[in-house]
Amino acid sequence: MTDRVVPEPQRRRRRPTKQGVVLSAELIVDTALRLIGQHGADALTVRRLGAALGADPSAVYRYFHSTDDLLIAIADELIGRAQHGWQSTGDWRADLRAIGLRIHSAYQAHPQAALLAAHRTTGRAHETAAVETILGILRTAGFPDPEAVRIYHAFVDQSLGFAALDAAALALPAPAAAADLGVWQASYARLDATTHPHIAATAGLLTRDMRRSGYPYALDLLLDAAEARLRTAEPGQAEPGQDG
Amino acid sequence: MTDRVVPEPQRRRRRPTKQGVVLSAELIVDTALRLIGQHGADALTVRRLGAALGADPSAVYRYFHSTDDLLIAIADELIGRAQHGWQSTGDWRADLRAIGLRIHSAYQAHPQAALLAAHRTTGRAHETAAVETILGILRTAGFPDPEAVRIYHAFVDQSLGFAALDAAALALPAPAAAADLGVWQASYARLDATTHPHIAATAGLLTRDMRRSGYPYALDLLLDAAEARLRTAEPGQAEPGQDG
DNA sequence: TTCTCTACGTCAACGCGGTTGGCATAACCT
DNA sequence: AGGTTATGCCAACCGCGTTGACGTAGAGAA
């Protein structure tokens, strides 16, 4: 078998399955996302996907070379959903903050998929568009190229890293998630002040803070530091002028 | 079968395998880590683990309820290794930087285990010790408690987030990993300057920078921002005195 | 309309994965 | 020395991703 996949734009013969479903790459990606959302990341197997589609499992291989190929498509779809409807304000810091929070929450909306997709580089349209946007914001703000690239890298990986971490927490089975949170009450809140003085002194603050995501605060720290470096790099520069 | 696992402290009959190896939970964990380290992420299967141990694969189930149970034991071992031999220098920033890099590299050394371990709150001894240490560094440095807790949260989750993200890249099967890296050369480096001007202008820098982890730079940004907030919070404060 | 070509859904099978029930025996305790 | 049973081993189960072969339905050409 050389290649059983026909590129989407060249597809002509849309032949329904036995159960009357007309397949497409888009339908398969949407169904996979729905499957993952309803029954967890473990639910995404080719056989179950086939059943959910109303088709033979191997039909999926007419649209994707492998499950990894399918995952890349899912990842790119998530990136696309994160950018959908975003508009620049002209303020680089506000823009980056908004994009970071959007990426984070788009992945939170599909925790199990995020878990599988957050760490892949797709190189597809939605991803390149996001990269172009973020790099553009940094370069327009006045960061020299080497620094812009480093900050881009840190910013994106921070967003994806927190997204994956927080998604993993959401993706846990209910009892395990409850147990994980309970550890802060059951274990940390009861540690002896003589062996763990710093935990004991901040137990109340800890149990409250660990319930939320640490991402928004970490994002602000990163933007703080970036802003400070921008002022160092261009000391005589005022607010950047309008470019539109 | 109710339960074929006997708790480690109650074990008495150490019966060698056909190949003369005397099994133990510790030996199995060490062998699993060695397998992952030597032969890549895919090498950790029960069958291969059995072969590496010189025992029947199912013998592993006399020591762990499931592979997940085994992975949790591996995770605990990893936390221990990350802290092993660390010593405070008295400089809060250098200490936090060293701890962050240690966490990151301890997880990088065993990517597949890191993937499953990074998002769990265990509440066990190694974990509480790490929390106590980090909180202690921040509070001793002079951060007010609410800020110390927020920075602790951001610091730890950023470390674990990047660790998981970078570990995931290392844990990919060889072809997928190659594809991920190749995207920067094959796709980003060839984008048209008219549609993606910012990517085109920085393509060389991008492909070079994305080969490395973004964590060290992101860590420095976080520490920069924390240091700035410390100076704002306690402007007249000198270096904190010795407490030991 | 009819003929041809092939895209694509389906079927069956392969090898590998985690996991388990049953069995034999060696290690410990008395 | 004898009884208990922990524990290693074997064989088997089922689900997984993937692939080769097959038949047929759909589209374009005449």
pLDDT in tens, B157-181: 999 999 989 988 877 766 777 777 7
Of B127-141, B185-199, B201-215, B226-240, the range with the lowest mean pLDDT is: B226-240
**pLDDT higher than threshold 50 for residue A203:** yes
Q: Which of B127, B228, B116 is nearest to A210 (CA)?
A: B127
**pLDDT higher than threshold 80 for residue B238:** no
Instruction: Looking at the complex, report in whole angstroms how far the Cα of residue A50 sits from the nearest Cα belonging to chain B.
Output: 23
Residue B171 token pair: 């844990």
Among B79, B93, B149, pick the best mutation site for testing chain A contact (most A Cβ within 10 A). B149
The predicted-structure confidence for A77-86, as pLDDT tens digits, reads as follows 988 999 999 9
Instruction: Looking at the complex, report in whole angstroms how far the Cα of residue B39 sits from the nearest Cα belonging to chain A.
Output: 21
Give the whole-number percent of chain B exceeding pLDDT 70.
93
Do the chains contact at B165 and A157, CB–CB below 8 Å?
A: yes
Q: Which band of pLDDT confidence, cut at 50, 70 and 90, is reported for residue B229?
A: very high
Non-local CB neighbours of B195 within 8 Å, separated by 6+ positions? none
Work out the average pLDDT over B49-71.
Answer: 94
Work out the average pLDDT over A184-212.
Answer: 91
Q: What is the pLDDT of residue B235?
A: 56
Do the chains contact at A217 and B154, CB–CB below 8 Å?
A: yes
Q: Taking a C-beta distance cutoff of 8 angstroms, is the pair A108, A114 a contact?
A: yes
Q: Taking a C-beta distance cutoff of 8 angstroms, is the pair B185, B199 a contact?
A: no
Report the distance separating Cα B70 and Cα B78, nearest Å. 12
Could you tell me which chain B residue has the CA closest to the CA of A118?
B165
**pLDDT higher than threshold 90 for residue A215:** yes
Q: Which of A77, A66, A113 is nearest to B173 (CA)?
A: A66
**pLDDT higher than threshold 90 for residue B227:** yes
Report the distance separating Cα B196 and Cα B203, nearest Å. 10
Q: What is the pLDDT of residue A239?
A: 46
**What nucleotide is nearest B57 when CA is compared to C1'?**
D9
Nearest to B132 among A145, A161, A198 (CB): A198
Q: What is the pLDDT of residue A59?
A: 96
DSSP letter at A43 equals G
Q: Which of A105, A175, A170, A128 is nearest to B199 (CA)?
A: A128
How many residue pairs from chains A and B have C-beta atoms closer than 8 A?
179
Nearest to A202 among B135, B168, B224 (CB): B135
For residue B97, the chain A residues in CB contact (below 8 A) are none
Q: From residue A149, give the alpha-carbon distance in Å to each of A5, A52, A119, A212, B193.
A: 36, 42, 18, 30, 17
The predicted-structure confidence for A137-168, as pLDDT tens digits, reads as follows 999 999 999 999 999 999 999 999 999 899 88
Q: Taking a C-beta distance cutoff of 8 angstroms, is the pair A100, A58 a contact?
A: no
Do the chains contact at A202 and B148, CB–CB below 8 Å?
A: yes
**pLDDT higher than threshold 90 for residue B153:** yes
**pLDDT higher than threshold 70 for residue A236:** no
Q: What is the C-alpha R_g of chain A? A: 23
**pLDDT higher than threshold 90 for residue A102:** yes
| Count, residues in chain A | 244
Do the chains contact at B221 and A218, CB–CB below 8 Å?
A: no
**What nucleotide is nearest A47 when CA is compared to C1'?**
D16
**pLDDT higher than threshold 50 for residue B63:** yes
Give the whole-number percent of chain A exceeding pLDDT 70.
92
**pLDDT higher than threshold 90 for residue B243:** no
Bases of chain D below 7 A from a protein C-beta are: 5-11, 15-21, 25-28
Could you tell me which chain A residue has the CA closest to the CA of B156?
A214
Q: What is the pLDDT of residue A235?
A: 56
Q: Taking a C-beta distance cutoff of 8 angstroms, is the pair B148, B138 a contact?
A: yes
DSSP letter at B61 equals G
The predicted-structure confidence for B17-33, as pLDDT tens digits, reads as follows 999 999 999 999 999 99
Q: Which residue has the higher pLDDT, B86 or B37?
A: B86
**pLDDT higher than threshold 70 for residue A238:** no
Non-local CB neighbours of A86 within 8 Å, separated by 6+ positions? A98, A99, A102, A133
Report the distance separating Cα B7 and Cα B25, nearest Å. 10
Residue A35 token pair: 């499957």
SS3 assignment, position B142: coil
Mean residue pLDDT of chain A comes to 88
